[in-house]
Amino acid sequence: MKVTMLAAGVGARLGSTVSEPPPKVLLRFGGKSLLEHHLDIFRKQGISEVVLGVGYKNQDIEREIIALGAGDFVRTVLNKDYQQGNIVTLWTLRDELRCGTPVVLLDADILYENRLLKRLMESSHQNCLLLDRNLEQGDEPVKICV
């Protein structure tokens, strides 16, 4: 199974005081980058390949992949038009999604527990979404009408 992740954005809504903040996937939690958290979970779940749709500061993400020793496990696809939004990054990754094998599509800026990915991967449904019914209302949560 392959994981395809959207990781091209600038993260403008983070409200950083830094003029050029790092890519969101490189933010650190508990001493690890978010990318490292993802890769740890993917390896535990037996994921065979990770493809990141990158754009903003993609060289920094490439360096982190090498630093994590994940160059044989992770590859990137560049969306040079990343400032136009994540739907353009998704379009850039369209061939990855049509590969003929199961694919998990994730936003790279989400921190989650291993059990959530495991639950998704063990679903009996060919197409499914994970959702949290206990979310706080506001501008930030991604909303899906159910």
The answer, yes or no, to whether residue 139 has pLDDT greater than 90, is: no
What range defines the domain where residue 100 resides?
2-121
> What pLDDT score was predicted for residue 112?
84
Classify residue 144 by its DSSP letter. -
Q: How far is the C-alpha of 136 from the C-alpha of 21, rounded, in Å?
A: 26
pTM of the predicted structure, to 2 decimals: 0.86
Classify residue 27 by its DSSP letter. -
DSSP states along 101-143: S-EEEEETT----HHHHHHHHT-SSSS-----SSPPPSSSS--
The answer, yes or no, to whether residue 15 has pLDDT greater than 60, is: no
**pLDDT tens, position by position, 18-65:** 577 889 999 999 999 999 999 999 999 999 899 999 999 999 999 999
Whether residue 61 lies inside any domain: the answer is yes
Residue 20 belongs to a domain with what CATH number? 3.90.550.10
Q: How far is the C-alpha of 123 from the C-alpha of 42, rounded, in Å?
A: 16
* pLDDT band, very low/low/confident/very high, at 128 (cuts 50, 70, 90): confident
Whether residue 25 lies inside any domain: the answer is yes
* pLDDT band, very low/low/confident/very high, at 10 (cuts 50, 70, 90): confident
CB-CB contact of 130 with 116 (8 Å):
yes
The answer, yes or no, to whether residue 136 has pLDDT greater than 80, is: no
> What pLDDT score was predicted for residue 141?
61
Q: How many domains does the chain have?
A: 1
Whether residue 42 lies inside any domain: the answer is yes
